[in-house]
C-alpha cells in the first residue's frame, strides 16, 4: 500500500509533459471534527494518488486545508473522494484563474496540530460563530461604505504585489502576528465600524472572523472564497475589480494576475515588477521580487554574495550550508537589507505600470522530449557545461533542450562532445558529458533530448 511519493519532481514533470493533458489548479478547506487525522490522511492519499492528483494538504482534528493540481478529466472523480465525507458534501473548490501543469509536482498530505497556524486557543471562544460571508458584488458594495474598514489578513510578501484598494495591509510575516495587531489598531471601532476581511482562499478569515467577534467587534464580514473566488466572480459577472495587481499563491506559479496593474517594484533596481523568484543559492533561497534584467545580471541571486557562492564547487556550497537552519527563512528574509526597494506595511493603491499581455500560462506540449539528466557544473572561462546521463543515451547529431528557471529554454544540436574526458560520439547511462555551450547553464537546469 503506497502512502508516499515514489517519483522525484523532475520525473513527475516529465510524465506530465508526456501525457499532454490539461491539469486544473484548485484549493479548498473545511473545518470539521476529525477523530483520526492519520487514518483520514492515509485514505485521502490512496484515493488521490490513484487519480494522479498532486498538491499540498494539511489535515488536523479541526479539518482540512488543501491546494491541489488535478487532471481536468479526473475532476469529478476527485470531487467524489471529498463528498464521501459528510462535512465536505457540496464543498466549494476554488479553481485558479490561471493554470500551470507544473503548479505541484508531488502529492503531500501531512497531519498537523492545526490546518492554519493561527496561534489561537480554540477552547476560549466559539470558532463556529463566524462573520457574514460576502460574494464579490456584495464585497464591492460594502467597500463603498465610509464606515467600512477592510483588512488584508495575508503576509507582507503577499500584499505587496496585489491588494484591495484602501485595505489595511499589516507588516507581518505570519497570520498569527496580524491578529493582535489589528485588534489593538481597531479597538476603538468595535461598535461603529464594519470590519471586512479577506485572504487568499478564505480559510484564514474563517477563524479570524470568529476571533474578532469574540473580541467584541459587532459587525464582522469576510470575503467568501477569498481573492481566488472573487476573481472568478468578477470575471463571470462583469464586475469592476476592487483588487489591484496579482494574487500571491503558494505553488510553483507564485502568483496569478487579477488586473493588469503592477503595484510593486523589483527589489534590486526599483523597476515596476511583480514577479517573485527564489534566490539561486540553495543556502539562501530567499523569496523576493526580481525583474528580468536583474535576473540576467544577478543570475537569479538576491545579492553579490549569493552570486559568488553559486559559482563555487558543489562540495564547498554544501559545507557552507552545513549546520545552517533555513526554516521559514525563505519568506521571512524577504525583508533583507540588501533589497533596497522592498515595501511592506502601508501600501499605495496607485499602479506603477501596466503588465504586458502574457501567453496563457498553461504549457503547450509542442515537442516530445526525454529527460537525460541535469547540469553538474559549468566552467565559465571555457564556456563548457558538464552533466551526467541519468536516463537513455546521447549521440552526436541529437538535439537537446536545456531548461531552468533562469536559463529558460535553450536548444542545441550536438556536433561534438567529451564523454568521461575523451572525445566520443555516444554517451550512455552514467557517463559524464561535457559540451561547449553558447550560453551559461546552472545547477538547477535539466537536460532533455528532443525526440522527433
H-helix or E-strand containing 46?
helix 37-49
Q: Phi/psi of residue 427, each to 5°?
A: -125, 135
Please choose, from the candidates 190, 189, 179, the residue with its C-alpha nearest in 3D space to the C-alpha of residue 218. 190
Calculate the alpha carbon distances from 443 to 41, 215, 286, 414, 440 in Å: 35, 51, 17, 20, 10
262 SS3 class = strand
- Residue 150 and residue 163 in contact, taking contact as beta carbons nearer than 8 Å: no
Q: Which residues sit opposite 403 in a β-bridge?
A: 409, 446
DSSP secondary structure string for all residues of 99-162: --TTS--SEEEEE-S-SS-----GGGS-TT---EEE-HHHHHHHHTSTTEEEEE-S-HHHHTTE
Please choose, from the candidates 256, 249, 225, 257, the residue with its C-alpha nearest in 3D space to the C-alpha of residue 93. 225
Q: Distance between CA atoms of 237 and 235, rounded to whole angstroms?
A: 6
**Is position 273 annotated as part of the catalytic site?**
no
H-helix or E-strand containing 238?
none
Please choose, from the candidates 178, 177, 216, the residue with its C-alpha nearest in 3D space to the C-alpha of residue 197. 178
The catalytic site residues sit at 199
Amino acid at each position: 500500500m503506497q502512502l508516499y511519493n515514489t517519483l522525484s519532481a523532475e520525473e513527475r514533470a516529465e510524465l506530465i509533459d508526456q501525457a499532454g493533458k490539461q491539469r486544473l489548479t484548485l484549493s479548498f478547506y473545511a473545518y470539521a471534527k476529525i477523530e483520526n487525522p492519520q487514518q483520514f490522511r492515509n485514505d485521502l492519499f490512496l484515493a488521490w494518488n490513484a487519480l494522479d492528483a498532486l498538491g499540498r494538504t494539511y489535515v488536523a482534528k479541526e479539518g482540512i486545508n488543501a491546494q491541489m493540481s488535478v487532471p481536468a478529466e479526473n475532476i469529478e472523480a476527485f470531487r467524489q473522494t471529498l463528498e464521501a465525507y459528510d462535512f465536505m458534501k457540496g464543498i466549494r473548490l476554488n479553481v485558479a484563474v490561471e493554470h500551470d501543469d507544473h503548479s505541484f509536482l508531488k502529492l503531500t498530505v501531512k497531519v498537523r496540530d492545526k490546518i492554519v497556524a493561527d496561534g489561537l486557543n480554540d477552547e476560549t471562544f466559539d470558532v463556529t460563530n463566524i462573520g457574514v460571508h460576502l460574494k464579490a458584488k456584495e464585497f464591492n458594495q460594502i467597500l463603498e461604505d465610509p464606515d467600512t474598514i477592510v483588512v488584508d489578513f495575508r503576509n507582507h510578501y503577499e500584499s505587496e504585489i496585489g491588494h484591495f484598494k484602501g485595505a489595511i495591509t499589516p507588516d507581518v510575516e505570519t497570520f498569527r502576528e496580524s491578529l493582535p495587531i489589528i485588534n489593538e489598531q481597531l479597538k476603538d471601532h468595535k461598535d461603529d465600524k464594519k470590519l471586512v476581511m479577506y485572504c487568499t482562499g478564505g480559510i484564514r478569515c474563517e477563524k479570524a472572523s470568529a476571533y474578532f467577534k469574540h473580541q467584541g467587534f459587532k459587525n464582522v464580514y469576510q470575503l467568501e472564497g477569498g481573492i481566488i473566488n472573487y476573481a472568478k466572480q468578477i470575471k463571470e459577472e462583469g464586475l469592476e475589480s476592487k483588487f489591484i495587481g496579482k494574487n500571491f499563491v503558494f505553488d510553483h506559479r507564485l502568483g496569478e494576475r487579477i488586473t493588469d496593474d503592477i503595484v510593486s517594484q523589483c527589489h534590486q533596481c526599483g523597476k515596476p515588477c511583480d514577479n517573485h523568484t527564489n534566490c539561486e543559492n540553495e543556502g539562501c533561497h530567499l523569496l523576493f521580487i526580481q525583474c528580468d534584467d536583474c535576473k540576467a545580471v544577478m543570475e537569479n541571486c538576491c545579492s553579490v554574495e549569493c552570486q559568488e557562492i553559486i559559482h563555487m564547487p558543489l562540495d564547498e556550497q554544501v559545507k557552507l550550508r552545513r549546520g545552517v537552519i533555513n526554516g521559514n527563512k525563505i519568506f521571512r528574509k524577504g525583508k533583507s537589507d540588501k533589497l533596497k526597494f522592498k515595501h511592506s506595511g502601508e501600501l499605495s493603491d496607485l499602479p506603477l505600470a501596466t503588465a504586458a499581455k502574457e501567453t496563457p500560462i498553461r504549457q503547450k506540449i509542442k515537442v516530445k522530449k526525454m529527460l537525460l539528466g541535469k547540469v553538474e557544473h559549468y566552467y565559465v572561462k571555457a564556456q563548457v557545461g558538464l552533466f551526467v546521463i541519468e536516463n537513455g543515451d546521447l549521440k552526436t547529431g541529437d538535439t537537446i533542450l536545456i531548461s531552468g528557471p533562469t536559463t529558460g529554454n535553450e536548444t542545441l544540436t550536438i556536433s561534438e562532445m567529451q564523454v568521461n574526458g575523451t572525445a566520443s560520439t555516444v554517451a550512455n547511462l552514467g557517463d559524464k558529458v561535457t559540451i561547449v555551450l553558447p550560453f551559461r547553464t546552472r545547477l538547477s537546469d535539466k537536460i532533455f533530448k528532443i525526440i522527433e
